[in-house]
Amino acid sequence: MKYMRETKILLSGMALAFLAMGALAPLAFAQAYPQGQNAGMTLEDQLRLARERIQEVRENPGAGSGTPYLDASGVIGATIISGSIFGGIFVAFVVRAKQIEKRMQQNRALQ
């Protein structure tokens, strides 16, 4: 009986995920491929923008890629900040679990 219930829950979850993908796929397609005449930049606009970027890099060779790795909004900064937050949550859970385990051992010793 327990096996049937677990299988039913698993199949229900898979069906829900399948339906959610079907509902959300058109939204992702709409964002990636705009429709209509004035649906974004033309090829000429994209080429002009690429040429401007190349020119900017040539004029400032020591500026790097522009990715702020050590900035709080950059790659490493965001990794450190999120790691600190989730690490703090992890430590809080471990401390709480140890307190509960210690309290349970004390209760067993008293009985």
- Three-state secondary-structure class, residue 75: helix
CB 89 within 8 A of CB 95: no
Q: Using pLDDT thresholds of 50, 70 and 90, give the confidence band for residue 109.
A: confident
Global confidence as pTM: 0.39
Locate the domains of the chain by residue range: 1-35, 67-111
Please state, as a whole number, how many other Cβ atoms lie within 10 Å of the Cβ of residue 57.
13
User: pLDDT tens across 58-102, in order?
Assistant: 887 776 666 666 666 777 878 888 999 999 999 999 999 999 999
What pLDDT, on a 0 to 100 scale, did the predictor assign at position 21? 85
Give the pLDDT score at 60: 78
pLDDT score for 100: 93
